[in-house]
Amino acid sequence: MTDYNISVGMPTVETLHLGQPVTIQREQNPSATLRAEYSVTARKCPPYCIQPMQLAPGVETLGELEVLDYLQRIRQGDNNLMVVDSRTPDWYAKYTIPGAVNIPYAQNMAGLATDLPGVKKSLIELFGVKETGGTYDFSAAHTLAIFCNGPWCGQTPNYIRTLLALGYPASKLKWYRGGMQDWCSLGLTVI
């Protein structure tokens, strides 16, 4: 049993990462400190501008307990949900939230004007969108909980705005605004 529970009545959360079981819990070492990359408080804006709490109408902003709930629901077989790490592959390789899938904004959405085939592939192959008669059908699209480095990171806001512009329903887009900075500051397990 852990001494530092996630929440009252929730000592840990079980999820899968790349098919392997992972237990998410709070850091148990009382001497632990923040990771160096998230201890920096001076960040030049732009590009590191503090993001709003409400990103767009209909897009829900999530906290850690909601992300953990999504991860539990995915573990229990809910195939309509995805937790998406929108950071670049090098950041994802350092560490991520267990159970998150790396679908970087920079590689999949940033080139919208020049790489429509890549965007189309992401929508259809990864997010459950169908193409019918040259238009997108989002009726079976996955609900996406997307995050990046934290409240000062613009990757996920840009990702979500791009998806909205393509017609992705706002009700199926969730934003974990705190991202890796808040996740790490709470001492939650990373992989």
Q: What pLDDT, on the 0 to 100 scale, is given for residue 168?
A: 95
Helix and strand totals (H; E) in the chain: 7, 9
Which domains, ranges and CATH numbers included, belong to the chain? Answer: 33-185 (3.40.250.10)
d(CA 156, CA 52): 12
d(CA 31, CA 27): 10
Strands 135-137 and 130-132: antiparallel
- Give the pLDDT confidence of 168-178 residue by residue, as tens digits: 999 999 999 99
Contact 143, 93 (CB under 8 A): no
d(CA 13, CA 69): 9
- Give the pLDDT confidence of 27-85 residue by residue, as tens digits: 999 999 999 989 888 999 999 999 999 999 999 999 999 999 999 999 999 999 999 99
Q: Which amino acid is at 148?
A: C
Is residue 109 very low, low, confident or very high in pLDDT (cuts 50, 70, 90)?
A: low
Residue 113 has pLDDT above 50, yes or no: no
Neighbours of 71 (CB within 10 A): 24
Residue 115 has pLDDT above 60, yes or no: no
Which residues in 26-51 are b (16+ Cβ under 10 Å) and which e?
beeeeeeeeeeebeeeeeeeeebeeb
pTM: 0.93
Contact 76, 52 (CB under 8 A): no
Residue 50 DSSP symbol = P
